[in-house]
Amino acid sequence: MKHLLKYTMLLLFLCGLMACKDSGSPKSIATLFLISLNKNDMVTARNISTKNTQDVLKIWEKLAEGQFTEEQLNQRAENFKVEVSRVRQSSDSVAWVQFKTLPRILPFEELRLLKFTDKTGRDRWKVDISTLDLLESDSNADIAPANDGQFHPEPDSTAAPE
């Protein structure tokens, strides 16, 4: 009986060890942030955001207010896909996460994360988006790559056929 108990405990320990994952990495925080935005879960998004991002989320929340029913949010959550293509640390406290979402929910495809030390002394990554980031991405939205590999402004109107 003692051997059965030992083996059961060992098996449970190994299963628990395999279930552990790095939930504090820049990749996992960026993924959680994007999933939270898609679900319109502002509480989770704010918890992993800097003050700048929390201000942007207030704007997001006002714009999204009344736009989606609970059923639409659940359907969006089922069909939402996040693919993190690259994580690059530019310093000890700054990481850049390149991502793609389907459907696209942000006007840019790279998030800046900053490392903070919380009250318990543990390092935490937080998403940092400013309103300037959004303005810069909106100004770049009018520029499209041409066949020659250069960026050219899109025309603001099309000519009528002759």
What pLDDT score was predicted for residue 53? 94
What pLDDT score was predicted for residue 52? 93
What pLDDT score was predicted for residue 161? 60
What pLDDT score was predicted for residue 61? 87
What φ, ψ does residue 66 adopt, rounded to 5°?
Answer: 75, 5
Pick the CATH number of 23-135 from 3.40.91, 3.10.450, 3.40.50, 3.40.1000: 3.10.450
What pLDDT score was predicted for residue 40? 87
Residue 88 · residue 117 · CB < 8 Å: no
What pLDDT score was predicted for residue 3? 62
Q: d(Cα 15, Cα 152) in Å, to the nearest integer?
A: 55
3-state class of 123 per DSSP? strand
**Domain extents for the chain?**
23-135
What pLDDT score was predicted for residue 140? 53
Which residues in the chain show pLDDT less than 70?
1-23, 137-162
| Whole-number Cα distances in Å, 104 to 40, 81, 85, 108, 122 | 14, 9, 15, 9, 33
Query: Can you tell me which residue has the tokens 């800097």?
Result: 50
| Chain centre distance of CA 91 | 20
What pLDDT score was predicted for residue 136? 76
What pLDDT score was predicted for residue 76? 85
Q: What is the pTM of this model?
A: 0.70
What pLDDT score was predicted for residue 158? 59
Identify each DSSP E strand in the chain by its residue range.
81-89, 94-102, 110-117, 123-128, 143-145, 151-153
